[in-house]
Amino acid sequence: MRTENKNSLKTLNVLLSYMRSDRPAVFISILLSLVSTAASLIIPIYCGKAIDCLIGVNKVNFDEMVKDYIVIMACIIIFAVVQWVMGVVNNKITYSLVRNIRSDLFDTCLGLDMSYIDSHRHGGIVSRIIGDVDQMADGILMALNQFFTSIFTLAGTIILMISINPSITLIVVILTPLSLIFAATLAKKTYGYFKEQSEKREELTSYINEISGEQKTIRAYSAEEEVLVKFRNINSDYMRASKNAVFYSSLVNPTTRFINNIIYAMVCLFGALTVVDGGLTVGALSSILAFSGKYAKPFNEISGIVTELQNALACAERAFEFIGIKDKKRLYDGHVLSESHENRRDGMLSLRNISFSYSKDKQLINDFNLDLGRNEHLAIVGPTGCGKTTLVNLILKFYNLDSGDIRFDDKSIYDTDVKELYTNFGLVLQDTWIMRGTVRDNIAMGREADDEMIISAAKRAFCHSFITKLPDGYNTVIDDESGLLSEGQRQLICIARIILYPPRLIFLDEATSSIDTRTELKIQALIEEITHDRSSFIIAHRLATIKNSDRILVMNQGKIIEEGNHESLFAKNGYYRKMWDSGYPRISRQI
């Protein structure tokens, strides 16, 4: 329980730090709360005065009564206008807060280490950025609308009640906080339930996201019933967590109102006896009854605020936990070697004594060394799972090394700005990615390029013919799930990206795996042309595609077991020759 309280306080402090940029708006909101509270408290005073104008039968002071009602109407108008303006200001504060938090969440998402993305469901990340932030916004908006008004109302009603009758005020002040104590006790319990509710909502969102993207596989294997059963189980867990949160939070308001209604009845009783004794006028009694109701109302509102705030803080805590990952992204605590390596080549890329594992108990790459010279074409082959693609991921800083160092242009990639590093890299991976946008935007991918350059790159990558057949040509909006493009066409668009702005080092990881054989031969010739005066790092299963590489590395179990060009490796009659002779996928040059 103490841990939860500390977490909620810490989360509240972070929330307040996000509101620093909106201090003027918060100050205006506080000022408007003060004005609206003053207007609402003046109304009962003049209502009481108006009642006291009824002196007896046919004895009414209409002049004073009219003046009182003018003041009452003016206060009602002021209260209504101020409440509207305060709502606008509070909405601005809330959604400015939401915008800033969501921006940080998205920034964190873009900078996450790939190991985090691989080990967490994507739907869970979406749930934190969308669902949790929306839940938090609802609680914050409610708190802003009611918190300051409640505080000012409490202070104002106490002062005014004391000025009318201190004895009755004492009854109200002593008994009313009982409702707040009860609300605070329940709030401690609801925080845990609201956090569990957010976690279950994340799990449900993740599962729905996963299933919606795999409908073809589910239907192909008739797995609908199994998927439905699992969904129902997750949905039931979410319902249980939600029911617990709602049940305990729903106890707060009726209980506090029950306590306050008893107090109101006691004030009526003692007030009536005081009027009979001549200690109060009927108008004064009506005023103090109105004030006692107003005094009790903030306790009802605060109890509701506390409940909503617990929900908001539980959601905010999960959001800030995610933002906190930003401080850990792309960190490297491996051992960086000194610049004086033995047997060091004057290459553009150098891997020195690197070690890496996805799990602590199983080493994938251990004490690995590699040099890539300038304008050298290096190919890596080997069985599935030997670490070929992992090497590319390490060079691109998608994962952090366990130890060792990777240097590009004789500078550690961990001392190089990510944007500067990636400006020199171009990659076409086996897993293509198409962002939601036009075909033109997907080829340019954030770089400045005119139509002529984009169309020229598309023609060279053999994209132009199928792009022109799309509904709006280069202006057709596509994405990963649109179904407008085949896997091979998507891969060609990815190849067009590196043709548009050829980088110094090109990574090709099964770059033509989804392309037909004839087009692949043309693409291979094009890639050889592009990489003529550049370095390339090629991973391939089809051995014929890397036959002309300057150097071929054969990997197995995270180590280089053979090295040389095609002729020398073929002549060795070793692992490479066995792969070639065993029918390892390759393209016949005679096609």
Q: What is the pLDDT of residue 24?
A: 87
Q: What is the CATH number of the domain that holds 380?
A: 3.40.50.300
Q: What percent of the chain has pLDDT over 90?
A: 2
What's the CA angle centered on 224, arms 221 and 229, to 5 degrees? 130
Whole-model pTM? 0.61
Among 286, 305, 327, the domain boundary falls at: 327
pLDDT in tens, 551-575: 888 888 878 888 888 888 888 888 8
**Residue 415 and residue 268 share a domain:** no
- Residue 288, classed as helix, strand or coil, is helix
Residues in the chain: 591
Kindly report, residue by residue over 339-372, the tens digit of the pLDDT.
333 333 344 788 888 888 877 777 788 888 888 8
pLDDT at 81 over 90: yes
The mean pLDDT value of the chain amounts to 78
Three state DSSP letters for 93-121: HHHHHHHHHHHHHHHHHHHCCHHHHHHCC
Q: Are both 180 and 166 inside the same structural domain?
A: yes
At 85 the pLDDT is 92
Examine the domain organization and report whether 144 and 270 are in the same domain. yes
Which two three-digit tokens encode residue 457?
Answer: 């790159």
Do 361 and 335 reside in the same domain of the chain?
Answer: yes
- More reliable by pLDDT, 124 or 31: 31
Same domain, 340 and 317: no
Give the Å distances, CA to CA, from 583 to 214, 441, 560, 586. 32, 40, 21, 8
DSSP 130: I
CA distance 426 to 457: 15
Instruction: Report the number of distinct structural domains present in the chain.
Output: 2
pLDDT of residue 77: 92
Asked if residue 374 has pLDDT above 70, the reply is yes
Q: Final residue of a domain: which of 327, 342, 364? A: 327
pLDDT interval class at 183 (50, 70, 90): low
Alpha carbon distance, N-terminus to C-terminus of the chain: 72
Tens digit of each residue's pLDDT (9 = 90 or more) over 486-501: 777 888 888 888 888 8
pLDDT at 140 over 50: yes
pLDDT digits (tens, 9 = 90+) for 259-290: 777 777 877 887 787 777 777 777 777 777 78
pLDDT in tens, 437-453: 888 888 888 677 888 88
Confidence at residue 31, expressed as pLDDT on a 0 to 100 scale? 92
Radius of gyration, CA atoms only, the chain: 35
295 and 377 share a domain?
Answer: no
Write out pLDDT tens, residues 34-53. 998 888 888 888 887 877 77
DSSP 512-564: TTTS-HHHHHHHHHHHHHHGGGSEEEEE-SSGGGGTT-SEEEEEETTEEEEEE
Residue span of the structural domain in which 369 resides:
330-424+535-585
List pLDDT tens digits, range 141-182: 877 877 788 888 888 888 888 888 887 778 777 777 776 677
- Tell me: do 300 and 337 sit in the same domain: no
Based on the domain organization, do 273 and 369 belong to the same domain? Answer: no
Domain boundary among 282, 301, 327: 327
